[in-house]
């Protein structure tokens, strides 16, 4: 892991207990920072007020505003800001749009079409993937089908992707996560997909 994200609920979004406890400042003291520029500016202003007046306390209204976005802690090896706009739901919305536009909202057709599309792009024989590996391919294919240049990846990158899919079907996700972390092309594609607003 090279980046840790704190979900807004943890710092006070729809969570008055976190507002009362000043959870935002707990994470801030650990080195977390807001991912949205306007929240970073509010944080800076609040820190200036605290520096000038040690007894100053951030009002609950301001803490609620600060709690509207994720906070991030980048560890060594992560470029600052890469994950700021990433949301898993952005990928989900993109899959839904594709399903509605291309398969008239039919989830079964979308899954089968995505498996066929990814299999062609990566030169996988989808019919050879059975059991857990076939299920892993079916689960990952709707997202992978959104990668625009998948068919132009190198042979090594495609083979590494196949290993990731097989590892996803394993009894634990340790190998899957290890291989995913090493596949820079795939990780970059996932970050791009998850950083596009719906």
Query: 150 pLDDT exceeds 90?
Result: yes
pTM: predicted TM-score of the whole model, two decimal places = 0.77
What value does the mean pLDDT take over residues 130-145? Answer: 93
Query: 2 pLDDT exceeds 90?
Result: no
For the sheet containing 3-6, what is the strand order?
3-6, 71-74, 33-34
Predicted confidence band of residue 78 (pLDDT cuts 50, 70, 90): confident
For residue 112, give every residue at least 6 positions away whose Cβ sits within 8 Å of its Cβ, in sequence order, or none: none
User: What mean pLDDT is reported for the chain?
Assistant: 93
Predicted confidence band of residue 77 (pLDDT cuts 50, 70, 90): confident
Residue-wise pLDDT tens digits, 24-64: 999 999 999 999 999 999 999 999 999 999 999 999 999 99
C-alpha separations of 87 from 3, 45, 159, 185 in Å: 14, 27, 27, 18
Task: Quote the DSSP letter at residue 142.
Answer: H
Within 13 Å and on the Cβ side, how many CA atoms surround 105?
A: 0
Predicted confidence band of residue 198 (pLDDT cuts 50, 70, 90): low
Backbone angles phi, psi at 73, to 5 degrees: -125, 110
Q: Report the pLDDT value the prediction gives residue 15, as an integer from 0 to 100.
A: 97
Q: Which of 89, 153, 83, 102 is nearest to 123 (CA)?
A: 153
Token code pair at residue 57: 């306390």
Predicted confidence band of residue 81 (pLDDT cuts 50, 70, 90): confident
């Amino acid at each position: 892991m090279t980046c840790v994200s704190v979900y807004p609920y943890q710092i006070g979004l729809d969570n008055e207990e976190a507002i009362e406890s000043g959870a935002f400042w707990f994470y801030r003291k650990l080195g977390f920072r807001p991912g949205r520029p306007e929240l970073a500016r509010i944080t800076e202003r609040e820190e200036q007020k605290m520096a000038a007046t040690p007894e100053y306390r951030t009002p609950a209204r301001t803490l609620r505003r600060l709690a509207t976005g994720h906070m991030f802690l980048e560890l060594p090896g992560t470029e600052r800001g890469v994950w700021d706009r990433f949301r898993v739901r952005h990928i989900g919305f993109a899959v839904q749009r594709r399903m509605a536009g291309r398969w008239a909202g039919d989830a079964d057709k979308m899954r089968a079409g995505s498996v066929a599309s990814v299999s062609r792009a990566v030169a996988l024989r989808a019919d050879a993937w059975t059991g857990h590996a076939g299920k892993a391919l079916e689960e990952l294919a709707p997202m992978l089908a959104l990668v625009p240049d998948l068919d132009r990846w190198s042979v090594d990158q495609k083979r590494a992707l196949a290993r990731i899919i097989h590892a996803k079907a394993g009894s634990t996700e340790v190998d899957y996560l290890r291989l995913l972390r090493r596949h820079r092309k795939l990780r970059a594609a996932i970050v791009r997909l998850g950083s596009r607003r719906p």
